[in-house]
Structures are given as C-alpha cells and as structure tokens.
C-alpha cells in the first residue's frame, strides 16, 4: 500500500484564500503579526524532525527574491501542528524547537504587509531524517543548505495576501 502524501493545512486559511488580517503587519486593531495555526498530516515514518520555511514567493522585484516571514526548525514529528500565536513565546512548549531569523533580521513570525496587488505566501514544511544543528542564528539560507540531502517528505500551503 502506498504512503499518503504529507499535507500542510490551516483551519484559518485555505489554498488560494486571503490571509486573515490578524496574521499580517496591518492586523486588526491591536491584534497583528499573530502566527497562524498550522496542521499537518501523513508525516513519513522516517522523519526525525520537521522544519518550516514561510516566504512571500512574489517577494521583492528586480530580481525577484522571496521574502522570508518565518523559520521554525527541529519540530518533533509527533507534533500535529503549531497553534495560533505559537511564535514568540509558545515555542518553549516543544523541546528543541527553534525559531529562525526572518528577513526583518528578528526571530519569529512577522506578518506580511499586503500590497495593493496581492502576493502569495508559501508555507513549506520539510520532514527530515535528522535534527538540524545550525548554531545560534538560524537563517533560511542555513536551513535550505542543511536540509538538502535529508528531506524524506514535504508539503506546501499557498495563500494570498
């Protein structure tokens, strides 16, 4: 019997739907830059840890460069997701989990500031056959280099903002 493909979903966002404002830099009143809830399914049996990379794939123009919003590494494969507001305080609830530095040069989630024409944000979850040893400053570049030959599964969720 074939293994089901790994899936990444959010109860608050669906593929090609708009990201709710509270997860953006604009927010709703005092509620802004809240990390969105995520859930995943069918993590491959060989996974030792999970890593999450979130970027605006329409990024900066000329040349097109994706903009990093969130990095989370060494998530235990037994975790079924990350709750809303996980970033910036709830990471301690999962031993070994580390949030990386985004393109604002700060650790944790930083929501997008919606442009008038909209952009796409991609949540990419990697299932890895090892724990990542990245030092004190975790960056997207370090993560992507480290996962290169260790991916046993991956899943994407793309939403609009």
In a domain, 1, yes or no: no
Which three-class secondary structure state does DSSP give residue 52? strand
Distance between CA atoms of 55 and 3, rounded to whole angstroms?
28
Which among 13, 5, 4 has a CA at the least distance from the CA of 154? Answer: 5
DSSP string, 119-154: -EEEEEEEEESS-----SS--HHHHHHHHTTTEEEE
Q: In CATH, what number is assigned to the domain containing residue 42? A: 3.90.280.10
Report pLDDT for 91. 59
pLDDT in tens, 87-107: 977 655 677 899 999 999 999
In a domain, 2, yes or no: no
- Split into its structural domains, the chain has a count of 1
Residue 69: give the domain boundaries.
Answer: 7-160
pLDDT in tens, 64-83: 789 999 999 999 999 999 99
């Amino acid at each position: 019997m074939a293994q089901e493909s790994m899936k990444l979903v959010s109860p608050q966002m669906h593929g090609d739907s708009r990201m709710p404002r509270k997860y953006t830099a604009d927010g709703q009143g005092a509620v802004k830059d809240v990390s969105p809830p995520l859930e995943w399914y069918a993590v491959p049996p060989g996974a030792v840890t999970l890593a999450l990379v979130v970027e605006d794939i329409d990024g900066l123009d000329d040349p097109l460069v994706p903009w990093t919003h969130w990095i989370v590494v060494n998530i235990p494969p037994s975790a079924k997701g990350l709750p809303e507001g996980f970033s910036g305080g709830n990471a301690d609830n999962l031993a070994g989990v580390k949030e990386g530095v985004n393109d604002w040069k700060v650790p944790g989630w930083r929501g997008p500031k919606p442009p008038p024409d909209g952009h796409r944000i991609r949540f990419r979850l990697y299932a890895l056959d090892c724990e990542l040893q990245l030092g004190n400053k975790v960056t997207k570049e370090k993560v992507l280099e480290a996962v290169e030959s260790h991916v046993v599964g991956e899943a994407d969720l793309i939403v609009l903002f």
